[in-house]
Chains A and B, each alone.
Chain A
Amino acid sequence: MGRGAVRSLDEIGYSAALLGESLRWVFAGRRWRQPVRLAAVAAQMTEMGILALPIATLLSATVGLMLAIQSLYSLGLFGAESLAHVGIALSVTREFSPLIMGILVAGRSGSALAARLATMSINQELDALKVIGVDPVRFLVAPALLALVVMLPVLTMWANLVALAAAGLYVSTALDLSMAAYLSGTIAVLSPGDLWHGLGKSTLFAVLIVLVGVVNGSLVAGGAEGVGRATTRSVVQGISAIVVTDMIFAFVVTQ
């Protein structure tokens, strides 16, 4: 128990140092003639964002439909089905899109990052980078961080659009409304603050996913079995961190 607590504190400290160092490379790397390579950032954006679009679309549409079904059922108990778009719009933009996209990316990219770094550590590739005179944080961590801080909010915005459209299709069919009427009602309900609430959370989730993946990957021990453990640990810790942060964020922002 004591050892676990010390290890957790150690990892939190390491994460903070990694974040600080990554930001230092992003902002000062060019001055030191060691910039964070844009090609590496673009490659990570493709891997973490663009290639996640199909599964992100499927999940968002499913969440939108699920919310529509539940909203019509629960509001139907009070005869208030016509207000379904209010609950759907607010829950999608403020809660479901950032949360589902965060969990998806933690499972997909956080684990990949942990596995990649763990494998590189075991194969001495991280040592090789250091002795070549390339800082692994600049070369591996900063591009991933930059890429995900951009792409997770983009995925969240995409998820908003898809989920609201899917919910609109179901609600408008069930209530015999036009899609245009549903969408105009949704737009009237939403304020920029609702969108920023979700996008702000997704930015925070992006930082958490990268740091959890990097810490678990770079502290790997125990060969191939260790890579598996690091990957699993990264997914579990990443999702847990997202859910807990989500609650804290919602509490703080709504006070």
Chain B
Amino acid sequence: MKNKYFSIIFTIALLVIGSRANAVIVIEIDEGIERGIPIAIVPFGSDTKDALPVSVGQVVRDDLARTGRFDPIPADQYLSSPTSAEAMQFNDWQVISADYVLIGRVEAAQDREGSYRVIARLYDAFEQKQVFGIQYIITVDKLRAAAHRIANSVFENITDELSSFDTQIVYTTTIQNDNGGAPEHALYLSDYDGHNPQIILRSEYPILSPAWSPDGTRVVYSELRASGSLIYVQTIATGERYAIATPEGQNSAPNWSPDGQRIVFSNSTEGNYDIYIISLADGKLTRVTDHRLIDTEPSWSPDGKHIVFTSNRGKDPQIYRAAAKRNAAAQRVTLEGRSNTGAHYSPSGEQLVLITDHGRGSQVGIFDFSTKQIRVISSTNIDDSAKFSPHGDMLIHVVEGRDRYIKILSPDGRAQTRVPVAEGRIKQVDWGKIHQQ
């Protein structure tokens, strides 16, 4: 640090000597502070007769806060509440240190009966300029979706990255029978924040490991039966499903190839679990691993070349990686911790999210292929794997305990929010890959 200052001063001295009083001082800044970006989200104005079912500002605020990249400033600190460009007083926002200000309003659309016009503007409070302005003309049921899209625009304009606020999740639950009968099992589809839940499957058998297809049209899961579990592929739009021709025994942890043509899963036919790939078009089966100890929880890399899986071949369960082909050689990936399980790739393929045990119980960790190190981001006890959102801006997992629930985490672990479940006791969750239409 000292040396750096000296070098700066030396540079400056040279500059000053060279150019007398009109010299320019050069200062190098290479580190900032780590915190969320302070943003003010002014409650949206409305001219509609009836109260709107959705608070657009609140939806945007919650979306941004979940990523950990933003620190929305509480509304009680605002000195004014503009809803239009004319009413903007930049000084009001500089005073409360808001870098950005989002304002907007919802109006009844004049030309279309029953439609609304949602207008939003984002301002840079210090540059005193508008960053963007957008409007959507929508029916009332799309108000929430419009709010998510506004949040996407804010996120993208400020961070230069894409966000997943308008994506969906699937999750499985167990519903206790009130009459004392056998419990029921359900597969649900909802917005990523738990809103708009729809049931897409009810079953008397436990539904495990749901995984969304890359094109977002289908979901694969295993159904646990005494005779051996089966793997099903279900089309979301129609509810049609079929069991894929897997070998006998337990078939578990199915996952899609990035092209959506194949499913990787683990099977216990030969007394212990090994990794297999099945082609959906012709049912061709490829055995990836053959080891006397357990290989399971396979997950495909985004480039389609590799499969990571959990194995206890080295005594402790750790993550291994193999090429997605027959009899592939497996290399150990995780080198630290008592155990590492349930790995899934980040959208970029540069990281894995996994469940790690460094001697402090199960924690959510992020393994980086470039540094070969694991960064622990959450200390909650979990038994299932965690998964990235489609743009890597958030993570989702099920929290274990008496009170099981879905949690959304920011990749730095700073923001942690709970997602409401429609019905029953949550089992497992997966994050959809595409944006809502």
A binds B: no
Measuring CB to CB, which residues of chain A are less than 8 angstroms from any residue of chain B?
Answer: none
Measuring CB to CB, which residues of chain B are less than 8 angstroms from any residue of chain A?
Answer: none
